[in-house]
Structure 1
């Protein structure tokens, strides 16, 4: 199958078989190209403020100059960014990359336990954190190699209005817990300090690591996928070639509601639409659906990306039907399976087909996308995109024929370099021929469309985020009242899947409320169990391995 590519015959007109991965040597070159071509065009908007490509150029250069000139960071050093979508995000991200450093994207909702692991594992030398999450950083700082903390308020880039925003968040809405980090420096002071330095010419190699993008591990430990500049540029070129046949350069506005710390938004929105000279309209809190709809009513947008839960949430929010969709020509869904009912409702409400894509953190992320001219939802994850091969393998590594189920394997220039400092786990997913073993079981039809059938791994997919049972089990097992625990995914109408824990008690007095409270303290929102079930024993193999599949397929009645 790897020699035969039936999917090429299904490629829409204008989509090439291969992309030019060498057109841009780095992500920085993509940014500089956009700056040259679209300097006065709007690049990023958030909370009523818009920055042009020229302003992003100036501000990100200042941030980069600070990191090198004031902090003395060296090529390859890691800088963590812990924020929701706001204007500081692109400034800092491009600043880190322009300085020849590596971005460690960090979920701001992490608990101290999760954050500590990521900072220690990555060896991050500095972290930029939004004030709302400063208290979390404070709790773990002493255990890490972080030398400098940069703090910022949500309103810091908004001028006079921003001071009001910061005041309201802290004193009225009480959304900014107190914290005290000696030596921390404010974001705006960093930019001012950066102005005193000239950013030297930095040579960035295409093989340099641009992002350490953390993803769950089968051992319950999050691993950093090493995504190089070449990986990101390749995936940007692939996605741009696929969706760019009907875009207008310099005129697109894309709604970026998924967080930029998630690889989907980072590449599809941040990089692809930067190449197009488009405007990224950043949504800070998409969970506030009424506020999100209000924002959409004020914006004439042409594209939106999201996960199934986001689209479903919008469809069920009053006022959504009053939005002007006349400019919308691109809706891309990924991160989790798109449900047929949601896709059909979206098409009816907006006139735009919800096109499903498939990818992984390890593939930067896009691997398969459905044709953009698809008339309606087809249940497939799409076709392998340009310069990408896909095949299905059985347990012995043999390729499966058309219509047969096997593990989906991906090969292409977007496949990660490997896992940070984890050669053994890298070898488990990347074989000698360069195939990435995804852990997803799939089949291919005679036209080359791929369909996900099941997951080989026990991974749970909650609203597009990977949740690994081992991590949940390790956390719940910390409770003295727990003898044994297994975590599984159960179907959930809202999030696709939800986490359920099945527990054998050591202490008969242990309650569901105690379990949920413990999970709240140690796990970020999407990882927390929604369901707790107590049993007298767990199903096991004859060697004592817990049979999670049996718990999923045969729940207690």
Structure 2
């Protein structure tokens, strides 16, 4: 399954801090070599349009150009150079977006880190990245302030960023070479395992990120003048792509929110006339659950596009969303290593099932080593694939082969019409009595039970076998009847797929992005013996 190959390379980079809004060429696809340059058409044509909004400040496109230039000068005065890595400890806010774009103007690498990580996790990232400096965005973000104070950072006030704490400049930091080509120069270093294991930094280039903006435009997922809700953390690649790159390169407005609260989102949908909404399934589930518990209908008079990603979507949740809002909930698939988009359902061809849709234009996919059921590991090649893992060429070589195919580790099947279905992680398959059990399939069935808000299924090793164990988060005001759940599952699943044990938990452990941390659940099982 493939589409056309990527277009020609772009001209040499213009990265001076005082020359942000480069004059675009005729074709937006080839006009820019750096991320910050993509706002140029909107600075010129719509200077009065709001670009970035949060609870404390807002910037119009005509102001954003100067904000980036001024912030780049402030960073340069600290000693930040091209090729330096700069850690940003923050929640979503205007200041974070400005800093990422200002680092682009200096050819430095942005390393956004969620303030909700622990001290040790942030310390590991700072050390592994060889950061020149760490910035802790203060404002309303108490965790970022506490991290900065604990590491001896000094308070400052930058005009377009707001209050922040500035860490000590690391004189020993060695800058990476600055590469003229967008496909070679790193824009962002995203750490994928800071919450669950050893540091692993994904190098995403300017070309990787700008491809996502171009893809969003080509598919009509974001349009000039759209009003986008920004609660997915920009420290995660999903949030970075759809709440910064996509909107700003396409002339939209982003309303940043630091933390998800269903009542805040419900109010924003109605009052801010939001037109585009992105979220993980847990966000949509909790929004609908809040609406039911409060007996408050959800109003979104301007909403035209809703997208789910980051975790498996269930048919029950998709149907509930579409019943509540009267529009299609689109689905997609990606990963940090692919910037992140690989597949998306098409806006013009809505689906009733939970396929993640066909591969996006300019990207190729295929299945490696198909299993008897027709599924196989999904392989990806295209302009979205990362440069590699920072300082880990060995890990890079394990996942990107000599022909440029990224081995995702995800198992998928591809229907005759090109629709892709993700059936599980190759490392998460549970082998029970010789049969393969895909956790996502079991979770889909459990989540369809009325009392279940969300679930996660993992394997537990026992003598000569592996058991299926389900962790379940129950809807507010309801109780789970285990016997009724098992009777329900017997109608949905083969006997070997039905969980040996169902454990009710108050909240499933989740990363700041909303993704359920199954490693934590396995640790809980191990601790319980």
Q: What's the TM-score once normalised by structure 2's chain length?
A: 0.71
Matches for 1:59-78 after TM superposition, within 5 Å: 59-68=67-76, 70-78=77-85
Please tell me whether the aligned partners of residues 440 and 456 of structure 1 are also in contact (alpha carbons under 8 angstroms). yes
Partner of 1:135: 146
Query: What are the Cα deviations for residues 30-74 of structure 1, in whole angstroms up to 9, with x where unaligned?
Result: 123332232211001112743201222222211101111x11221
Q: Could you report, residue by residue, the CA deviation over 1:227-268 in whole angstroms, capped at 9, with x for unpaired residues? A: 010111112212321235xx652x210111111211112112
Call closer, same or farther: CA 1:534–1:307 in 2, change over 3 Å: closer
Q: How many residue pairs were aligned?
A: 425
- Is residue 2:47 matched to residue 1:39? yes
1:426, distance to aligned residue in structure 2 (A): 0.3
Taking the aligned partners of 2:309 and 2:108, their CA distance within structure 1 comes to 29
Q: Are residues 1:279 and 2:253 paired?
A: yes
1:252 equivalent in structure 2: 226
CA contact (8 A) 2:3 2:363 kept: no
Moved more, 420-429 or 332-341: 332-341
Return 301-310 or 325-334, whichever deviates more: 325-334
Partner SS state of residue 384, structure 1? coil
Q: Do 1:128 and 1:150's aligned partners in 2 also have CA atoms closer than 8 Å?
A: no
2:449 corresponding residue in structure 1: none
TM-score with structure 1 length normalisation?
0.68
Match of 2:315 among 333, 337, 340: 340
What's the Cα RMSD here? 3.9
The answer to whether structure 1 residue 305 and structure 2 residue 270 are counterparts is no
Which residue matches 2:58?
Answer: 50
**Distance in 1 separating the partners of 2:168 and 2:130:** 19
The residue number in structure 2 matching 1:116 is 123
Seen in structure 2, the aligned counterparts of structure 1 residues 37 and 341 have a Cα distance that, compared at 3 Å, is same
- Give the whole-Å Cα distance in 1 for the aligned partners of 2:371 and 2:71: 52
1:423 aligns with 2:393: yes
Matching of residue 445 in structure 1 with residue 415 in structure 2: yes
CA–CA separation in structure 1 for the residues paired with 2:98 and 2:271: 24
Instruction: Show the counterpart of 2:201.
Output: 224
The answer for the alignment partner of 1:481 in structure 2 is none
- Residues in 2 aligned to 1:328 and 1:390: alpha-carbon distance in whole angstroms: 31
Distance 2:67 2:295 in 1: 35
Deviation at 1:297, TM superposition (A): 3.0
Quickly say closer, same or farther: Cα 1:236–1:157, change in 2 above 3 A. Answer: closer
1:401 Cα deviation after fit: 9.6
Give the counterpart of 1:90 among 85, 88, 97: 97
Over residues 374-412 of structure 1, what are the superposed CA-to-partner deviations in whole Å (9 max), with x where a residue is unaligned?
A: 444312111110100000101xxxxx4997111001100
Q: Which residue of structure 2 aligns with residue 289 of structure 1?
A: 262
What is the CA distance between 1:140 and its match in structure 2?
A: 5.0
Counterparts of 1:386-397 in structure 2 under 5 Å?
386-394=361-369
Higher RCO (CA 8 Å, separation ≥ 6 residues): 1
Distance in 1 between residues matched to 2:388 and 2:179, nearest whole Å: 23
Q: What are structure 2's unaligned runs of at least 5 residues?
A: 6-26, 170-177, 430-438, 444-455, 459-465, 476-505
**Kept after mapping to 1: 8 A contact 2:365/2:380:** yes
**Is this contact kept in 1: 2:151–2:167, CA < 8 A?**
no
Ranges in structure 1 where 5+ consecutive residues have no aligned partner: 6-18, 142-147, 167-178, 185-201, 395-399, 470-485, 496-515, 538-557
Q: Helix, strand or coil for the counterpart of 2:524?
A: strand
Alignment counterpart, residue 22 of structure 1, candidates 4, 23, 30: 30
Whole-Å separation in 2 of the counterparts to 1:58 and 1:41: 15
- Deviation (angstroms), 1:157: 6.7
2:406 is the counterpart of 1:433 = no
Q: Deviations over 1:405-447 (max 9, x none)?
A: 1100110011000000000000010000100000001111111
